[in-house]
Amino acid sequence: MAADDGHEVDLLVLGAGPAGLFAAYYAGFRGLSVAIVDALPEAGGQITAMYPEKMIFDVAGLPAVRGRDLVASLVAQADSGAPTWLLGRQARTLLTLPDGRLRMGLADGVLIDARAVLITAGLGEFRPRPLPGAGERVGGSVLHFVPQPRTHEGEDVVVVGGGDSAFDWAAALHPLARSVTLVHRRARFRAHPAMVRDVRERGVSIITDAEVAELVDGPAGLSEVVIRFADGEIRTLPAQRVIAALGFVADLGPIESWGIDVAQRTIPVDSTMRTSRELIYAAGDVTSYPGKVRLIATGFGEAATAVNNIAVALDPAAHLFPGHSTQA
């Protein structure tokens, strides 16, 4: 198989979120060659896409760590095993070859042959819920994510939504933007009460029982947002940027056609993290089993469990316990 047509590795990791990145490191530690595939153009999964500036509190040994900093450390750790990075590439097909290897086909035609596959796909393929009336502004004056808050210095920003992401973006942008206004169609929020309280205390303007009725362009692009309240009142806000944090529609996409048992958009696994299909394992938020708790910390443990069991499946003479990674 030519290098530009495909790759051959011991383990293919599908998903470059925290669980996938730690799995790639651990596979390298076990001496396995690895390829990492993710539809997103950057590593980090949901953290990079949705809350890079948010402080994360459930990583052992770190009282608090900013999302983007955690991802940077995980990427550096994964790089120690010299994985093949295939980011911005969508997985489409998964076949078992006559020799027992697994062949994954990507949307661009590239093929990856692997002795085992570990699915760490998180929510699967997720698409932001659209802001009505945004049209062709999406990606310009209307955004779903804020990967670089500093690019919005001096702007008037309207954040639409009432969940954690909306409040995260409002908190991150408040010290930088000229003004930040959060608009939500209800008086109650889905966001954690502590985050709501924090944003209020920062002085962010919060408008409830209202929706964006119209986006108004000026000579240089978006200039105003028209807000319509539930009682019919109309108000106009200055805005050069709208952050539409309205949630996501998620599904497992092609994974559901790969002959793996799927239940309620998750993949059931056993105690080794093996799926219903030979040599295909899963870890992280995509998995389900009795007592499952969806935390980043849980995903790290599942990734290590999966990789160690994969190492034994590929070489029955190998030990399940590899020794401590602190040993030379």
Detail the residues annotated as belonging to a binding site for FAD: 38, 46, 51, 91, 126, 285, 326
- 81: Cβ contacts below 8 Å, ≥ 6 apart: 24, 25, 27, 28, 29, 32, 34
Task: Answer whether 38's CB lies under 8 Å from 16's CB.
Answer: yes
**Helices and strands in the chain: count of H runs, count of E runs:** 6, 21
- Please identify which residue in the block is written with the tokens 């309280």: 197
* Pairwise CA distance, residues 166 & 50, whole Å: 10
Amino acid at 223: S
DSSP string, 294-309: --HHHHHHHHHHHHHH
Radius of gyration from C-alpha coordinates of the chain: 22
* C-alpha distances out from residue 189 to 185, 186, 207, 303, Å: 9, 7, 12, 33
Task: Provide the 8-state DSSP code for 131.
Answer: P
Strand order in the sheet with 210-218: 210-218, 221-229, 234-238
- Please identify which residue in the block is written with the tokens 């050069």: 240
| DSSP β-ladder status, 102-106 and 111-119 | antiparallel
Binding-site residues: 38, 46, 51, 91, 126, 285, 326
User: In this structure, what token pair is assigned to residue 13?
Assistant: 């990791």
* Pairwise CA distance, residues 243 & 144, whole Å: 6
Strand order in the sheet with 179-183: 142-143, 241-244, 156-160, 179-183, 205-207
